[in-house]
Homo-oligomer: A and B are copies of this chain.
Amino acid sequence: MRNNRRSIKFHPIGYVENKFSKTSGWEQSEPGDSLIILNPELLSGLKGFLPEQRVMVLFYFDRIHDYDLQQHPRGDPSRPKRGVFTLRSPRRPNPIGLTEVEILAIEENVLRVRGLDAFNGTPVIDLKPA
């Protein structure tokens, strides 16, 4: 029988820098712009990305420590509860976020992107072409 309980370990490839936090929301005039600071030793892994390209960002909801298998969509109690796998809620068994963003600029190991809904400081675990 397959051992399906073994844990899987990942390491951040970088982190998010922006003005977005749980308490304040977006603090700047142009919501949606974030920097992704890639670990410098991974820099050459960006070769070939172009501004205006769309990218899938996988990140770790590092401020989430529990989940419910059924939740109200968008936390709205007027909507019936649904299974967590049918929702984008961060409160999920493996708290991985997935957002498609637009690349605005790349300078060395820093990507400026639009559309990333992750808090300042969030660890990034992968980037893939959209």
Contact = CB atoms under 8 A, between A and B. Distances in A.
Secondary structure class of chain A's binding surface, majority of residues = mixed
A49 B11 contact: no
Interface residues of A, number: 48
B6 A7 contact: no
Contact of A88 (B2, B44, B129): B129
Contacts of A126: 85, 92-94, 96
Contact of A4 (B39, B55, B85): B39
A44 B58 contact: no
A13 B85 CA distance: 11
Interface in A5-33: 5-15
